[in-house]
């Protein structure tokens, strides 16, 4: 016999091992099976599983298990991302903590080796955690963005795009992170609002005839100013255009130029131009061929281009000194505190500097075209749809993508430089050497580019590189393009857009047919979970406390939320209880010999309760199937919860108790088989969401002395015919449920003690209802806790009258009847009907409604009115009789 509860701690590892050993995680070889494939959003190797991963991977696992059970050749490719910056930071921090020498002292090769050894030691953590969650990915196909195959793919793509001039090298301003010592892309810039100040600085005219005032939040950059700009139509300064100011401190004369970039509304209307340290100024500088003076080094200290006293100073110290100098020169025209947004590196948190360097770029504009078209024409569909707008907006305004990073951990850029600086791009050093030999006519020493590629460059190839591209592997042919990508909307630009661009450019087809965006998980207060805030719910801790199924069901049930999920322990506990409920239902079935029979035909059942439940089951399974097909995970979970608890447990199992305890052997046998069938079907339907508990029950509820033919993970998905829905049985059981509920409500209102067994009489019932009552006599008596169930022509004195649907009954409660209370109860009931009658009557009296509303809606309201008036009349009759008693 089953224990009282499921024990996830011991069962989960055992079941997972069984699945993995069975080979169920790999797609079937059956050539007739239609492929269904997904690639995991590769977690960072540095990462530990957080609740966002848990959500994302639960949804993927639901989909892959669903597909597998439907007979698809289901493949879910797992893997992880080398996460350049993040990983390098982790290892550097570790070196520092251990008191080791730093990365630069260590040298590149030793450092990279150190990262690899860290990766092999710690990089398996997240894969283990995914297993604990129950993720059924194909571990035999696990990939890493820096493994040999993927590295080859990266190099080949780089070379191809370079040859197509879609990758190029260019010197321009980038977002420079002075702490990490690398360029980063626009996307990695985070605007943070900080307290700063706006300083007004006076620049004297060269001839001493006056001054021009400019305002800035970064006074130190004035050391690199090469112009002052005013708007061409700004009358205040028209006379000054073309003349020069002498830059204070520096002493350099710089021109006053006219450019529309200057906004007459802002500040003084004149703006300082620093081409080397401001993106907008850079463009102005290009228009006017201004010199570009870079005064910062890679650490954002002032370099040799700054006046001697400033050299070597940190930028913020330089700022203070520049301001002080202006002040002492009498040229500081004002300072006002200002809260403003300043760009920070999202990883380091350092204030970024626009910095002039040579970097590698991808011409994203060209690649974006086909990627936009694929979503426009529906070859790739976003779920929910509204993310398409965000995608289009970004893609249509896309800027060149800076792909080089001054890091050591990552794919080294396959470009080599000759002695004269000429670039040779090739997949290998030998290839580059050969090209150089051809060019120079003799061997020349080549130096490989020191930089590595942005991590997202390799991630962009993930859907096909993991399947073996550029080789034309069997997997690639069978599983590419993939079916569904499940990911967070926070990486729609970083990742989804770039996979679309690369996938289309390199393979000609979009890498997935559907992209499902899952919500963001937050804590109960709605703030993003983060370690620094200490509000992290550790998924593994939850799994330990409640089991993986409880966490999975919770996340699935809450996944419909538009943008974020607020998670609470209470909620998880509730769904753990749901699992226990099902467990105990199975326990009940087992105790009552409800065991499945292969030759049982559920559609041919004779008993009313059987015919009813099998129809409910059909409807429910169709709802769940449709919901999962549409990725409406929350709907699927909600329907399963409702059916299992509110239909199967609350009513069906209660309804069959008398049959199972009764003497009718035929009915008993049929009911046992039906209960087992419903349970078994529920296990299948619930398996994608709660795989562990259902798998355990599947094994434990096998026919006595037998084992199941296969694991539940490999069982086939229920496909029940709609002909199983029996309208007559549904009506009959619906009547019974309404009647029992009505009696229970009345008992509670009258404060009838549970021990009271009143008599219930049908009052002049129609033949059909009489037949229902006769058929379910014992059930009604037990469920409503009655003494007797009979029939009378009119309500006897001392009874209260109830109306359940079309049926009026008298409940004999004389001994407990509180006349005043009962009168009040009836009055309330009547008032409810009155309100309904009035509303419906008003509607039907409205000419417009009758004329314009669809006929069926009008008819529906007529019936509603008739029903309400009928019920009211019967309740009034009861009230009148009651007043006679008084």
Q: Considering the complex, what minimum distance in angstroms separates the CB of residue 587 from RNA?
A: 4
Q: Considering the complex, what minimum distance in angstroms separates the CB of residue 317 from RNA?
A: 19
- What is the C-alpha separation between 178 and 350, in angstroms, rounded? 7
- What is the C-alpha separation between 617 and 328, in angstroms, rounded? 86
What are the φ/ψ torsions at residue 273 (nearest 5 degrees)?
Answer: -115, 120
Two tokens at 225?
A: 């100013």
* Residue (6 or 479) nearer to RNA, CB: 6
How many alpha carbons fall within 13 Å on the CB side of residue 744? 10
Contact present, 515 and 381 (Cβ < 8 Å): yes
* Residue (271 or 667) nearer to RNA, CB: 271
Q: Considering the complex, what minimum distance in angstroms separates the CB of residue 4 from RNA?
A: 6
Q: Considering the complex, what minimum distance in angstroms separates the CB of residue 621 from RNA?
A: 17
* Residue (367 or 750) nearer to RNA, CB: 750
Q: Considering the complex, what minimum distance in angstroms separates the CB of residue 851 from RNA?
A: 7
* Residue (108 or 192) nearer to RNA, CB: 192
The residue written with tokens 């700009």 in the block is 229
Contact present, 25 and 65 (Cβ < 8 Å): no
Q: Considering the complex, what minimum distance in angstroms separates the CB of residue 280 from RNA?
A: 5
Maximum Cα–Cα distance across the chain: 121
- What is the C-alpha separation between 369 and 391, in angstroms, rounded? 12
- What is the C-alpha separation between 95 and 624, in angstroms, rounded? 52
- What is the C-alpha separation between 390 and 493, in angstroms, rounded? 9
* Residue (505 or 571) nearer to RNA, CB: 571
* Residue (198 or 792) nearer to RNA, CB: 198
- What is the C-alpha separation between 526 and 265, in angstroms, rounded? 40
Q: Considering the complex, what minimum distance in angstroms separates the CB of residue 83 from RNA?
A: 18
Question: Taking the alpha carbons of 609, 612, 617, 620 in that order, is the dihedral positive or negative?
Answer: negative
Q: Considering the complex, what minimum distance in angstroms separates the CB of residue 675 from RNA?
A: 11
* Residue (428 or 577) nearer to RNA, CB: 577
* Residue (151 or 268) nearer to RNA, CB: 268
Q: Considering the complex, what minimum distance in angstroms separates the CB of residue 875 from RNA?
A: 15
Two tokens at 354?
A: 């626009």
Beta pairing, strands 227-230 & 211-216: unpaired
Two tokens at 643?
A: 């059916």
* Residue (299 or 341) nearer to RNA, CB: 341
* Residue (435 or 501) nearer to RNA, CB: 501
Find all residues with CB under 8 Å of 12, minimum gap 6, and list them.
Answer: 132, 134, 543, 547, 548, 692
* Residue (470 or 638) nearer to RNA, CB: 638
- What is the C-alpha separation between 850 and 859, in angstroms, rounded? 9
Q: Considering the complex, what minimum distance in angstroms separates the CB of residue 744 from RNA?
A: 4
The DSSP string of 91-115 is HHHHHHHTTPPPHHHH-HHHHHHHH
The 10 Å Cβ neighbour count of residue 225 is: 27
Q: Considering the complex, what minimum distance in angstroms separates the CB of residue 596 from RNA?
A: 18
Order of strands across the sheet that contains 799-804: 788-792, 759-763, 807-812, 799-804
Q: Considering the complex, what minimum distance in angstroms separates the CB of residue 534 from RNA?
A: 17
Q: Considering the complex, what minimum distance in angstroms separates the CB of residue 340 from RNA?
A: 5
* Residue (545 or 702) nearer to RNA, CB: 545
Contact present, 746 and 826 (Cβ < 8 Å): no
- What is the C-alpha separation between 281 and 840, in angstroms, rounded? 70
* Residue (39 or 565) nearer to RNA, CB: 565
Question: Taking the alpha carbons of 541, 544, 550, 553 in that order, is the dihedral positive or negative?
Answer: positive
Rg (CA), the chain: 37
């Amino acid at each position: 016999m089953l224990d009282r509860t499921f024990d996830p701690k011991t069962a989960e590892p055992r079941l997972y091992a069984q699945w993995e050993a069975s080979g169920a995680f790999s797609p079937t070889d059956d050539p007739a099976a239609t492929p269904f494939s997904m690639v995991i959003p590769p977690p960072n190797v540095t990462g530990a599983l957080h609740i966002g991963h848990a959500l994302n991977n639960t949804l993927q696992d639901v989909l892959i298990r669903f597909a597998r059970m439907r007979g698809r050749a289901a493949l879910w490719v797992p893997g992880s991302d080398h996460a350049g910056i993040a990983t390098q930071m982790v290892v550097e921090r570790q070196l520092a903590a251990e008191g080791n020498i730093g990365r630069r002292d260590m040298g590149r090769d030793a450092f990279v080796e150190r990262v690899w050894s860290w990766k092999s030691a710690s990089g398996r953590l997240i894969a283990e955690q995914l297993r604990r969650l129950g993720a059924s990915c194909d571990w035999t196909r696990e990939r890493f963005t820096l493994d040999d195959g993927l590295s080859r793919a990266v190099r080949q793509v780089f070379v191809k795009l370079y040859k197509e001039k879609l990758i190029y090298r260019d010197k321009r301003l980038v977002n420079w992170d002075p702490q990490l010592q690398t360029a980063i892309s626009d996307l990695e810039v985070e605007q943070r609002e900080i307290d700063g100040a706006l300083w007004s600085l006076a620049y004297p005219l060269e001839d001493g005839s006056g001054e021009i005032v400019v305002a800035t939040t970064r006074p130190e950059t004035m050391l690199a100013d090469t112009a002052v700009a005013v708007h061409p139509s700004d009358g205040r300064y028209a006379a000054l255009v073309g003349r020069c100011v002498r830059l204070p401190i520096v002493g350099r004369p710089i021109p006053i130029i006219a450019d529309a970039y200057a906004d007459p509304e802002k500040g003084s209307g004149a703006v300082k131009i620093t081409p080397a340290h401001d993106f907008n100024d850079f463009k102005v500088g290009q228009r006017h061929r201004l010199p570009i003076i870079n005064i910062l080094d890679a650490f954002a200290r002032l370099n040799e281009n700054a006046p001697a006293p400033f050299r070597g100073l940190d930028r913020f110290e330089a700022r203070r000194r520049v301001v002080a100098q202006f002040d002492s020169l009498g040229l500081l025209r004002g300072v006002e505190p200002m809260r403003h947004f300043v760009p920070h590196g999202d990883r380091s948190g350092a204030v970024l500097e626009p910095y002039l360097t040579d970097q590698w770029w991808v011409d994203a504009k060209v690649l974006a075209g086909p990627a936009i078209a694929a979503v426009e024409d529906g070859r790739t569909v976003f779920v929910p749809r509204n993310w398409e707008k965000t995608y289009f907006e970004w893609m249509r305004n896309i800027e060149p993508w800076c792909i080089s990073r001054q890091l050591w951990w990552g794919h080294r850029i396959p470009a080599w430089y000759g002695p004269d600086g000429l670039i040779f791009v090739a997949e290998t050093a030998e290839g580059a050497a050969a090209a150089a030999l051809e060019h120079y006519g003799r061997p020349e020493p080549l130096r490989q580019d020191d930089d590595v590629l942005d991590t997202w460059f390799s991630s962009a190839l993930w859907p096909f590189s993991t399947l073996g591209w550029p080789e034309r592997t069997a997997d690639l042919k069978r599983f590419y393009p993939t079916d569904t990508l499940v990911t967070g909307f926070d990486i729609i630009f970083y990742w989804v857009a770039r996979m679309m661009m690369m996938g289309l450019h390199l393979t000609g087809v979009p890498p997935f047919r559907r992209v499902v965006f899952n919500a963001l998980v937050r804590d109960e207060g709605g703030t993003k979970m983060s370690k620094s805030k200490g509000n992290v719910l550790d998924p593994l801790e939850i799994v330990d406390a409640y089991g993986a199924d409880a966490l999975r069901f919770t996340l699935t049930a809450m996944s419909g939320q538009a943008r974020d999920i607020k998670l609470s322990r209470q909620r998880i506990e509730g769904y753990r209880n749901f699992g226990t409920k099902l467990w105990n239902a199975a326990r009940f079935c087992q105790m009552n010999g409800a065991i499945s029979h292969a030759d049982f035909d559920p559609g041919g059942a004779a008993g009313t309760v059987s015919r009813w439940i099998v129809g409910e089951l059909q409807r429910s399974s169709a709802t769940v199937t449709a919901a999962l097909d549409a990725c409406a995970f929350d709907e699927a979970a909600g329907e399963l919860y409702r059916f299992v608890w509110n239909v199967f447990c609350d009513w069906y199992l209660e309804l069959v108790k008398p049959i199972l305890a009764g003497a009718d052997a035929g009915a008993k046998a049929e009911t046992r088989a039906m209960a087992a069938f419903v349970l078994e079907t529920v296990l299948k339907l619930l398996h994608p969401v709660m795989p562990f508990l259902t798998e355990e029950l599947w094994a434990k509820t096998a026919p006595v002395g037998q084992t199941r033919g296969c694991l539940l993970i490999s069982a086939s998905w229920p496909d029940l015919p709609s002909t199983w829905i029996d309208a007559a049985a549904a009506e009959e059981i619906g009547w019974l449920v309404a009647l029992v509920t009505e009696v229970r409500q009345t008992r509670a209102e009258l404060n009838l003690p549970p021990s009271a067994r009143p008599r219930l009489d049908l009052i002049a019932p129609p033949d059909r209802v009489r037949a229902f009552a006769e058929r379910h006599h014992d059930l009604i008596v037990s469920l409503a806790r009655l003494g007797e169930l009979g029939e009378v022509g009119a309500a006897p004195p001392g009874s209260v009258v109830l109306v359940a649907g079309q049926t009026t009954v008298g409940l004999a409660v004389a001994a407990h009847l509180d006349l005043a209370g009962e009168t009040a109860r009836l009055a309330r009931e009547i008032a409810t009907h009155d309100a309904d009658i009035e509303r419906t009557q008003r509607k039907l009296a409205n000419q417009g409604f009758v004329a314009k509303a669809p006929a069926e809606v009008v008819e529906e309201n007529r019936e509603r009115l008739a029903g309400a008036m009928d019920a009211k009349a019967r309740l009034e009759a009861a009230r009148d009789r009651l007043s006679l008693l008084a």
